[in-house]
Amino acid sequence: MNLQRLRVFAFVACLLPADAFVSICLLMAHAASLPLSLFRRLASPVRTPNAASVTIQILNWDGKHLLEEFLPSVLIGAKGHEILIVDNGSTDGSVEFVKSGFPQVRILELDRNYGFSVGNNRGIEHVKTDLVVFLNNDMSVDPDFLQPLLVPFADPAVFAVASQITVPDPAKSKQETGKTRARFESGLFYLWHDPVTLQDEHGAALPVFWAGGGACALDRRKFEALGGFDSLYHPFYVEDTDLSYQAWKRGWRSLFAPGSRVMHKHRATSGPRFGELFVNNTTRRNHYLFAWKNLTDFGMLMEHLVMLPAIHRRAITQYGAAFELRAYLRACLRLPLAIRRRLANAGSYVLSDRDVLGLTQ
């Protein structure tokens, strides 16, 4: 065995006590949730939302340069519907820029940066329409992007509908399309975007694993019933996946509408402000938290727990020991919160983890 392999195994061994702690906590939480799942709380009767009027909500933090570039296209695509900018305590003149240049746009000024989840949740409190469209501030939209998002809501079981996403760099065109997929393999969820086919372009909206929070429409009442985006994942990433997954397990569908097209200047806010290393490490942390909060199938949960050392080994080999140790220990610090969320939701599910994976392929 060479020195590199010895170092990897040494770091994996260092994480074994944390793995044991996580396993004990999650198995106890699973046992505690079993009685709760026997007394399922029936969801409120679903009704068809009114699509005659919608609100387009844009979260902004020090993104004046992005609003200058992209807000004009949103005004055209909105076609008279309300635009609400939720400003996360910007200090770059964003609020003043919008007030002076776009007086028809409503602004909610927050006192500081609350991150993606809380910022958007604060905005929803000020939305009165049944449907709300979330857009990142680094999105430009096609003039006709809105209608394809609204049509599927004629089905009251629809929770969210996502747009087709393109990116400026053709080399990265397959990294983000809006046609989201997932698989559970070797103890962990793996998430990706599938290419959009010609058949997709000419077909109806199709089921997806999650509706991306940067370009999607959703049913506000269902969003509120789910508690909004979960601050467990603060400051960003995976919270939209979690939201759609929670909706799916309640029998509410997330769809992809390829006829709705937007262009995304990916990570134009998070990357420069936080650094790619922190962004990637937070995403890795949140993948653990997603599994700990959401995995209720006992077989899948056990696979995750048994495979934790192998999961660490692969990550250390690929990303380095410091990266994986930091991500995992950051996740462990939030394990109690993930378990509280897990127990709170235990009596609300009508679909299993395997059901959702099957329905979204």
Q: What is the pLDDT of residue 160?
A: 98
Query: Whole-number mean pLDDT of the chain?
Result: 93
Write out the E strands in the chain. 54-60, 82-88, 106-110, 131-136, 139-141, 158-166, 180-185, 188-193, 206-207, 215-219, 253-264
**Residue 317 covered by a domain:** no
**Residue 137 covered by a domain:** yes
Distance CA 160, CA 53 (A): 16
CATH code, domain carrying 209: 3.90.550.10
Q: What are phi and psi of 325, to 5 degrees?
A: -60, -40
pLDDT band for 287, please (50, 70, 90 cuts): very high
**Residue 15 covered by a domain:** no
Decide if pLDDT at 336 tops 70.
yes
Decide if pLDDT at 312 tops 70.
yes
**Arithmetic mean of pLDDT, 293-299:** 97
In the block, which residue shows the tokens 């959009």? Answer: 196
pLDDT band for 43, please (50, 70, 90 cuts): low
Provide, rounded to the nearest whole percent, the portion of the chain with pLDDT above 70: 94
**Residue 45 covered by a domain:** no
**Residue 283 covered by a domain:** no
Q: What is the pLDDT of residue 347?
A: 87
Query: Higher model confidence: residue 124 or residue 268?
Result: 124
Q: What is the pLDDT of residue 44?
A: 60
pLDDT band for 87, please (50, 70, 90 cuts): very high
pLDDT digits (tens, 9 = 90+) for 342-356: 999 988 999 999 999
Structure-block tokens of residue 225: 């019933």
pLDDT digits (tens, 9 = 90+) for 215-270: 999 999 999 999 999 999 999 999 999 999 999 999 999 999 999 999 998 655 55
CB 262 within 8 A of CB 136: no
CA angle 46, 49, 53 (to 5 degrees): 165
pLDDT digits (tens, 9 = 90+) for 188-220: 999 999 999 999 998 889 999 999 999 999 999
How many structural domains are present in the chain?
1
Q: What is the pLDDT of residue 265?
A: 84
**Residue 335 covered by a domain:** no
Nearest to 220, CA basis, from 27, 28, 12, 53: 53
Residue 129 region by backbone torsions, left for phi larger than 0, else alpha for psi between -120 and 50, else beta: beta
Count of CB atoms situated within 10 Å of the CB of 214: 23
**Residue 38 covered by a domain:** no
Decide if pLDDT at 69 tops 70.
yes
Nearest to 226, CA basis, from 206, 252, 208, 256: 252
Distance CA 129, CA 123 (A): 12
**Residue 84 covered by a domain:** yes
Distance CA 285, CA 267 (A): 18
79-83 long-range contacts (CB < 8 A, ≥24 apart) are: 79/146, 81/53, 81/54, 81/55, 81/56, 81/146, 82/53, 82/54, 82/55, 82/56, 82/106, 82/129, 83/55, 83/56, 83/58
Distance CA 229, CA 272 (A): 23
Domain of 109 in residue numbering reads as 54-274
Count of CB atoms situated within 10 Å of the CB of 84: 20
**Bond from prior residue into 235 cis (ω within 30 degrees of 0):** yes
Structure-block tokens of residue 133: 């469209």
Nearest to 312, CA basis, from 293, 329, 333: 329
pLDDT band for 3, please (50, 70, 90 cuts): confident
**Arithmetic mean of pLDDT, 68-86:** 97
Decide if pLDDT at 34 tops 70.
yes
